[in-house]
Amino acid sequence: MINVTKSSLPPFEEYIDEIRSIWETKWLTNMGEKHDKLEKELEAYLEVPIISLFNNGHVALEMAIEVLNLTGEVITTPFTFASTTHAITRKGLTPVFCDISDDDYTIDVDRIESLITDKTSAIMPVHVYGNVCNVKEIDRISKKYNLKVIYDAAHAFGVTVNGQGIGNFGDISMFSFHATKVFNSIEGGALTFANENYKAQLYQIKNFGIVSPESVVFAGGNGKMNEFSAAMGICNIRRINENIASRKWVVELYRERLSGVKGLTLLQSQKGVSSNYSYFPVVFNEKELGKTRDQIHAALAKENIIARKYFYPLTNTFECYNGRFNSNETPVAKYIAERVLTLPLYPELTQQDVDRICSIILGE
Ligand SMILES: *Cc1c(COP(=O)(O)O)cnc(C)c1O
């Protein structure tokens, strides 16, 4: 069976060596030695001024909303994982859905301004598939209307734009270190930012609002990363560059086989962007190809190959939102969601695997 992804793990002995000292200190969580070490290493790798680690990316996103004191409406996109939209609604805010651009599937910056009202407090764009949003234009709009910007950079670990780490844009960026992501700490996440005040505030928000043993100043939550997760992160960061290079190799094999095929749209590389090759999405045009996305998905599944309808359905059509939103207002996102598949992609995938997958897609 070929799954859509495979989690990266260090050699078993290496992880055991890394966690051995935990048996000496008996310090399992609450910003221990491993946590602090990973924090420093990630600040350096991501080339960001300040980082704060969390138990997962979703909690980090909710806590980013808290530290920025957002209110009212947040402009975002529906072509994303449930987490982005849920973070907004779970914090009592209203998501306002902006369509995506049809070349890189990130927020369509030409449509943002028309969605701004006197209730808008922020923009929450997503660097989908590791594709970089138009950060320059989003910066201009946010300054003009005095809005905060939180980037969902869950897919964009290690991506750089003109040599600058992707975590340096907007007020805060969120990274996910979930098992399925390019870099994982089993579960985990981080916020990156430049404002020094956020570091102390986030420390309290992720630790129950505790300021000192006898002083709890507000109702914070629990967002702390434990030492076993941090140790996994410390091991995995050692091989991240090799890992991304292997992904690049797989992506190039896919491109060789699938580019130029009528009815298939592949992701274009972005100018000045160094990619992390996190996903390989293909958009299938049923009219040109004579087959629908769902037929391709089923044909692969029959051969035990799992591709993923990522992202489908759009978050603005989820049952939990009871028809509150209308996906016809985001027609590009709707078009892509109905036709996209992300193909299997992980460092150990072989040329043979890629050939088999492509042959099934091409009906050879
Ligand atoms: C994975 C992901 C998240 C959530 O991260 P977790 O670490 O799983 O909580 C948020 N947004 C996007 C786009 C993601 O892919």
* Separation between Cα atoms, residue 109 and residue 136, nearest integer Å: 10
DSSP three-state, residue 336: helix
- Minimum-distance ligand 1 atom for the alpha carbon of 58: 9
Per residue in 183-213, pLDDT tens?
999 999 999 999 999 999 999 999 999 999 9
- Ligand 1 within 6 A of 265 CB? no
Q: What is the dihedral of CA 206, 212, 218, 221, to 10 degrees?
A: 20
- Ligand 1 within 6 A of 84 CB? yes
Return the axis-axis angle of helices 240-258 and 351-362, rounded to nearest 10°: 30
Among candidate residues 351, 349, 238, the one with its CA nearest the CA of residue 11: 238
- Minimum-distance ligand 1 atom for the alpha carbon of 155: 15
Domains of the chain: residue spans and CATH = 12-237 (3.40.640.10), 240-362 (3.90.1150.10)
CA distances from residue 188 to 56, 62, 223, 332 in whole angstroms, order as listed: 4, 14, 9, 32
pLDDT at position 135 is 98
* Separation between Cα atoms, residue 363 and residue 361, nearest integer Å: 5
Instruction: Please enumerate in sequence order all residues whose Cβ is within 8 A of that of 289, keeping only pairs 6 or more positions apart, or say none.
Output: 262, 263, 264
- Ligand 1 within 6 A of 57 CB? yes
H/E segment holding residue 96: strand 94-97
For strands 172-176 and 148-152, give the pairing: parallel
- Minimum-distance ligand 1 atom for the alpha carbon of 87: 10
DSSP line for 257-319: HHTT-TTEEEPPPPTTEE------EEEE-HHHHSS-HHHHHHHHHHTTB--B-TT-S-GGG-G
pLDDT at position 2 is 95
Average pLDDT of adjacent 10-residue blocks, the chain of 364 residues: 95 98 97 98 98 98 98 98 98 98 97 98 98 98 98 98 97 98 98 98 97 94 98 98 98 97 95 97 96 97 97 97 96 98 97 97 93
What backbone torsions phi and psi does residue 341 show, to the nearest 5 degrees?
-135, 140
Atom 13 in ligand 1: residue holding the nearest Cα:
81
- Minimum-distance ligand 1 atom for the alpha carbon of 178: 7
Atom 5 in ligand 1: residue holding the nearest Cα:
57
Cβ pair 95, 326 in contact under 8 A = no
How many helices (H) and strands (E) the chain has is answered by 12, 15
**CA 189 to ligand 1 center in whole angstroms:** 8
pLDDT at position 364 is 87
DSSP three-state, residue 244: helix
pTM: 0.98
- Ligand 1 within 6 A of 229 CB? no
**CA 58 to ligand 1 center in whole angstroms:** 6
According to DSSP H, which parts of 70-152 are helical? Answer: 82-90, 135-145
What is the amino acid identity at position 129?
Y
